Structure formats: C-alpha cells, structure tokens
Structure 1
Amino acid sequence: MKEGIHPAYRDVCFVDLSNGFKFVTRSCAQTKESIDMEDGRKLPLFKLETTSESHPFYTGTQKSVDALGGRVEKFRNKFARVGIKK
C-alpha cells in the first residue's frame, strides 16, 4: 500500500440528537466538539439527526404507501362516480 494516502482513523463518538443514543466507532470525520465517556476517555463528538435507533425504516414504524391503498387506487376510488357519460 502507498504511504501517506490513507486517512487517519480514530475513535469517534456519534450521538443521535433525537433520542440521545451514543455509539463509538472508528472514523476520520472532522469534529469540533468532544465528549467525556463513562469509561473516562475523551473522544471527538459527531452529532447526527437520525441513526438506526431512530429512523422509521429500522424501528419498524415506517408506513408504506402501497400497503395503504396506493395513490392510483385512491384516485380511482375518489373519482369512481365521475365517469365518462355515454
């Protein structure tokens, strides 16, 4: 492998702003803040809007449009009475 082309990975704490969920992983994300962890380490802090703990797809609260009838089906039901008159 070539020297000097790979990013400098380090432990970074990611925090979900919607529910406070924290996880630590190796990353090269640039941060301006830091956080003191429960085990005494001081890690860079990266704030996220959503994670797998709060995203509807992963939590099972996502609604599917097709399961609720779909757009075309809703349109046909709404305008079923208004048809072409012969």
Structure 2
Amino acid sequence: MRHGIHPASRPVVLRDRAPGFRPPTRSTVESRHTVEWQDGAPCPVVDVEISSAGPPFRTGASPVVDTAGRVERFERRHGPARR
C-alpha cells in the first residue's frame, strides 16, 4: 500500500434513522455530529437511510398490499379468469 494517498480511517457510529440501529465501524466519512458511545467517549456519528436492521420487512413499515382488490379490479377490466 502506497503511503500518503489513502484517506485516514477512523472509528464512527452509523445510525439508522428508522429502527435506531447503531453499529460501530471504521470509515473515512467526515462528521461534525458526535454521540456518546457505550464506554463514555464521544464518537462521530453518520446518519444512514438504510442498514441491515432497517428493511421494511423487519421493521413492519412495509405497506399492506390489498391483493384481493387487485384481482377484482383485473377481473372487472378483463373479465373473469378462464380455467
């Protein structure tokens, strides 16, 4: 690895906004916001929109799909399905 060309990596906390998931990791991302970590030391925090804890199927935030309504709407437009 060549010296002087790579950005400095530092410990940060990635905070997922939806479930409040906060894994510690290392990153080169700069952050002005800090959070107090479990050991009491301040650690930079980076807010992310999506993380491994945040997919809709795990958080219950996925919309309810009305499949019966879709089938009825299809049959109104195109007639009942032939079997």
Percent of aligned pairs with the same amino acid: 29
Tell me the distance in 2 between the aligned counterparts of 1:11 and 1:23: 11
Q: What is the distance in 2 between the residues matched to 1:47 and 1:40?
A: 20
CA distance in 2, matches of 1:21, 1:13: 10
| 1:23-38 correspondence to structure 2 within 5 Å | 23-38=23-38
User: Which whole-Å CA distance do the structure 2 matches of 1:3 and 1:47 have between them?
Assistant: 30
User: In the comparison of the two structures, how many residue pairs are matched?
Assistant: 75
- TM-score, normalized by length of structure 2? 0.67
Alignment of 1:7-46 (within 5 A): 7-46=7-46
| Aligned CA-pair RMSD | 2.8
Q: Unpaired segments of 5 or more residues in structure 2?
A: none
Counterpart AA for 1:46: V
What's the TM-score, normalizing by structure 1? 0.65
Unaligned 5+ segments in structure 1 are 82-86
Q: Deviations over 1:28-85 (max 9, x none)?
A: 011110111121221111111221111136x39668xxxx6xxxx998644323xxxx
> How far, CA to CA, are the matches of 1:35 and 1:8 in structure 2?
20
CA distance in 1, matches of 2:72, 2:10: 51
**Structure 1: distance between partners of 2:56 and 2:25:** 22
